[in-house]
Amino acid sequence: MMLKDRRYLVLFAVAFVNFLGGTIVLPTLPLYAQRNFGAQPQQISLLLASYFIAQFLAAPLLGRLSDKYGRLPVLLVSQIGTVLSFVMMAAAQDFNVLLLARVLDGITGGNLIVAQAYVTDITPKEKRTQGLGIIFMAFGLGYILGPAVGGIVSAFSGDHMPFVVGASVTAFTVALTWIFLDESLPKEKRQQRADEGRARMSVSEITGNRSLLIILVIGFAAQFCIAIIQSTIALFAAAELFPGETNQQVNLGVGLMLTSIGLGQVITQVFFLRPALKRFGEHRLVVYGDILRGLGMMSIAMFASPWLVGGVSLLFMAIASGLMMPSLQGLATMSVREEINGGALGVYNAATSLGLIMGTGLGGSMFDIGHRVPFLIAGGVMLMTVIPAMYLMRRRDPSPGATVVPVTTPGH
């Protein structure tokens, strides 16, 4: 098992803390801004969106820097930046400082991109998607524990403490990284890239790579749809699934429903991804994941029971995400030259961050039209991505210089 390798364990810890820190503060951040700084709804929306905007702008740059200068220094610096952002949020005396800290958190949140690039360096191509799946397992665990930890800590220790906890656990992963990780790109290879200038991913290498463009479109749409769901599921639950219940009961119910996403992610990475890759290959898993995710999203609009939404709709979405998203990332790295893997991941994550920004911004407007509209639109868009995913499966021709991993047929 990959986690027996200490490098994968450290990278798992980095990704887990990244998601844990984000989800620890996410449930309390809007209330923190409102209670301490009198933030209005528009300011809170800006505060939440600023993270994704900053990550969208910074992710490609961090990916390219890690290609050129090595993974380890960029990983360490970006994690230290995350620690500083949590400290700034805990110590903020006005809203502008809180917003600045959130922007810094988004910029340095690109350490996840560098961790993924590190995985591609140390993992054989035939196991790359499985290696990237470790990151998604970390996401699942973070999604399970983060909201609960944040709620408990803030309830017993005050609004500031979730940020202190986030800073502390991130500082711990800085120490783990420094002690246990070696540079995954040898010095001679970095020097060769610097001499040849090949570590930079040009615009023409993106626009001229049809396979990569398709992957970017699917990744954008996938996160656009999930952002619509995330920005409206609590409103839908309060209006349709828990009518007449108290705010405390609604919050508890939504938290329990969302926990199924984390559970589904972990179960998929531990039990399903490896055999599914062996049987179907990355391209087919993207197609199957698109279909399952789309149906799961649309089914939310069909159910009136929180048990069915949490136990069927959100669980199906989580399983689909656990199968298709690591596969998409693996295909992104295999669609370009080996020396610009980090750049490809940066561009990919920029596309998904843009999807998160747009989906978060439009979800509320869709909900105003009708309570079930966001889920029908998100599911419909997700099902539409089956078309480019099937084209990608038939094409399977990355750019010159990249190595193609053939799609295995069922039973082989």
Instruction: Output the average pLDDT for the chain.
Output: 81
Instruction: Provide the H-helix boundaries in 92-209.
Output: 95-108, 111-122, 128-157, 161-180, 187-196, 203-207
Higher pLDDT, 27 or 347: 347
Three-state SS string over 44-85 comes to: HHHHHHHHHHHHHHHHHHHHHHHHHHCHHHHHHHHHHHHHHH
Block residue for tokens 């995710």: 293
Angle, CA 187 vertex, CA 186 and CA 189 arms, to 5°: 70
The region of weakest confidence among 44-58, 193-207, 336-350, 393-407 is 393-407
Per-residue pLDDT band for 400 (boundaries 50, 70, 90) equals very low
Q: What is the pLDDT at residue 215?
A: 94
Per-residue pLDDT band for 411 (boundaries 50, 70, 90) equals very low
Q: What is the pLDDT at residue 336?
A: 81
| C-alpha distances in Å from residue 97, one per residue of 90, 102, 311, 397 | 10, 9, 40, 47
pLDDT one-digit tens code per residue, 154-165: 767 777 888 888
pLDDT one-digit tens code per residue, 254-291: 777 877 887 887 888 788 888 998 899 889 999 999 99
Question: Which domains does the chain possess?
Answer: 1-200 (1.20.1250.20), 204-395 (1.20.1250.20)
In the chain, count H helices and then E strands. Answer: 19, 0
CB 56 within 8 A of CB 358: no
Q: Using a pLDDT cut of 90, give the percent of the chain over it.
A: 22
Highest mean pLDDT of the ranges 27-31, 84-88, 356-360: 84-88
pLDDT at 131 over 70: yes
Burial of 96 (0-12, 13-18, 19+ CB in 10 A): exposed
Per-residue pLDDT band for 194 (boundaries 50, 70, 90) equals low
The region of weakest confidence among 54-58, 396-400, 401-405 is 401-405
Higher pLDDT, 121 or 96: 96
The region of weakest confidence among 57-66, 197-206, 394-403 is 394-403
User: What CA–CA distance (Å, rounded) separates 395 from 75?
Assistant: 34
Q: Using a pLDDT cut of 70, give the percent of the chain over it.
A: 86
Higher pLDDT, 249 or 407: 249
Per-residue pLDDT band for 251 (boundaries 50, 70, 90) equals low
Q: What is the pLDDT at residue 99?
A: 93
| C-alpha distances in Å from residue 359, one per residue of 105, 320, 345 | 20, 19, 21
DSSP code per residue over 256-315: HHHHHHHHHHHHIIIIIHHHHHHHH-HHHHHHHHHHHHHHHHHHHTT---HHHIIIIIHH
pLDDT one-digit tens code per residue, 219-239: 999 999 998 888 788 778 888
